[in-house]
Amino acid sequence: MKEKELNHSKNGMAMLLLFLVLFVAAIGGAGYGLPLLSESPPVPMVILTVVCIIWVLTGWIPFMGLKVLKPQEALVLTLFGRYIGTLKGEGFYFVNPFCSAINPAAGTRLNQSGDVSGNPASAARDVIADMTGGASKKISLKIMTLNNTRQKINDCLGNPVEIGIAVMWRVVDTAKAAFQVDNYKEYLSLQCDSALRNIVRLYPYDTAPNIDTTGDGMADDGSLRGSSEIVASRIRDEIQQKVSEAGLEILEARITYLAYAPEIAAVMLQRQQATAVVDARKVIVDSAVGMVEMALERLAEKNTVLLDEERKAAMVSNLLVVLCANRDAQPVVNSGSLY
C-alpha cells in the first residue's frame, strides 16, 4: 500500500458558499412553488419545485464532504472500502461526501504525548469520545514521545535488571499506518518491548570480562550502564527495522530508567562497594610501595644512614603500616642509639 496525497481538494470555502447559496435558493423555490401546485402550474414549474424540495431534504449531504485540517494532521479517506488518498497539511478541503476517514488507532490511549493529559476534564472527554465512537479520525504527523512501561529483563549474565525507554517517533506514511497493521500505536508499543528485550540481553549491567556485546567475536567493555548511547542507538535501529512496514519513523530512543531488580539490588550494591574498596586498596598499596622505594633510594644515595637487610625489612614494614592504615599512626620516638 502506497500513500497517495490529494492536492486538488483544497477548495472547501468555495464549495461551502456554493452549497449555502443553493440551499437558500432551494428553500425559496420550494416556498414559492408549493402554493402553486394546487393551481395546475406549468410542467417546468412543477419539476423545479420538486427539485427544490428534494434539495432541501438532501442538501445537507454535500456538507459532509467539507474537511478542516490543522498543521501536521492527515486524513486517510476511503470510498466504499477503496483507498482513494490522503489529505495532508492545514486547509479547508472538499471531498466526496460519501468518503469515510480511517484511523485504526483513534481510540488507543498509550503513555505517550498526545494520548495523556494532566487535565481531568480533558481525560474525561477523551473517555466519553471513545465510548460514543466520536474519537478523531485524523492522524497526527507530529513527533510523538512514547514512554514505555519499565520491563524486567535478564542481562547477558543472567542478572535481572529493570529498564525503561522513551521513543520519539512520527507517522511518515499514512496509508501503511492505516492499512498495513491493525493498530499502529499498539504495534509500535509491542515492537519497542521486543526490541528492548533483544538488545538488553546482549549486554551486562556493568563492565564484565570476556563478554562480546558487538558480535564480532572479541571481548569488549560494553555495558548497559557505561554504553547507554550505543545501547540506545541499537534499540532505535532495532525498532525502526520492525516498524518500517507500518509507515513509522523512529527518530530517537533514550534509556530513561536503569537499575537492578529489587530482589538483587542490595546484594549487587554490596558487590559494587566491595569492588570499589578493593580498587581503592590497590591504589593505596601501589602508591605506598612507590613511596617506600623512593625513601630507600634517597637514603642510599645520600648515605644518610646505612641499614642492613633486617633493618630495611623493619623499615619497609613500618612505612607500609603507616601508609596503608585507615587511621593516623601514633609514632614512637627513639632517643637512643640506632640499634
What are the DSSP calls for 199-215, one per residue? HHTTS-SS--TT--SSS
> Does residue 289 share a domain with residue 254?
no
Q: Are 88 and 70 in contact (CB under 8 A)?
A: no
CA-to-CA distance for 216 and 212, rounded, in angstroms? 7
**92 shares its domain with 202:** no
List, for residues 46-75, the tens digit of each pLDDT value.
788 888 888 888 888 888 889 999 999 999
> How confident is the model over 237-291, as pLDDT tens digits?
999 999 999 999 999 999 999 888 888 767 777 777 777 888 888 888 888 888 8
- pTM summary value: 0.71
- Same-domain status, 215 and 301: no
Alpha-carbon span 84 to 77, nearest angstrom:
6
Residue 203 lies in a domain: yes
Q: How many domains does the chain have?
A: 3
Beta strands in the chain (DSSP E): 66-69, 73-79, 82-88, 91-94, 100-102, 139-140, 144-147, 151-154, 160-171, 248-260
Is residue 110 situated within a structural domain?
no
| Mean of all residue pLDDT scores within the chain | 82
Residue 135 belongs to some domain of the structure: no
φ/ψ region of 158 (left if φ > 0, alpha if ψ in -120 to 50, else beta) reads left
The model's confidence at residue 128, banded by pLDDT at 50, 70 and 90, is: very low
* CA 31 to the chain's CA centroid: 60
Do both 246 and 279 map to the same domain? no
pLDDT in tens, 179-221: 999 999 999 999 999 999 999 999 988 888 888 888 777 888 8
Give the residue from 205, 213, 209 showing the smallest Cα distance to 259: 205
Question: Do 303 and 224 lie in a common domain?
Answer: no
- Tell me the average pLDDT across 87-107: 89
Determine the pLDDT at residue 198: 92
Statement to judge: residues 189 and 251 lie in one domain: yes
For residue 197, what are the domain limits? 141-260
Per-residue pLDDT tens digits for 81-91: 899 999 998 88
Instruction: Please indicate, yes or no, whether residues 217 and 233 belong to a single structural domain of this protein.
Output: yes
Same domain, 245 and 290: no
**Strand positions, DSSP E, 7-71:** 66-69
Residue 180: give its domain's CATH number. 3.30.479.30
Pair 160, 256 in one domain: yes
Mean pLDDT of 308-334: 73
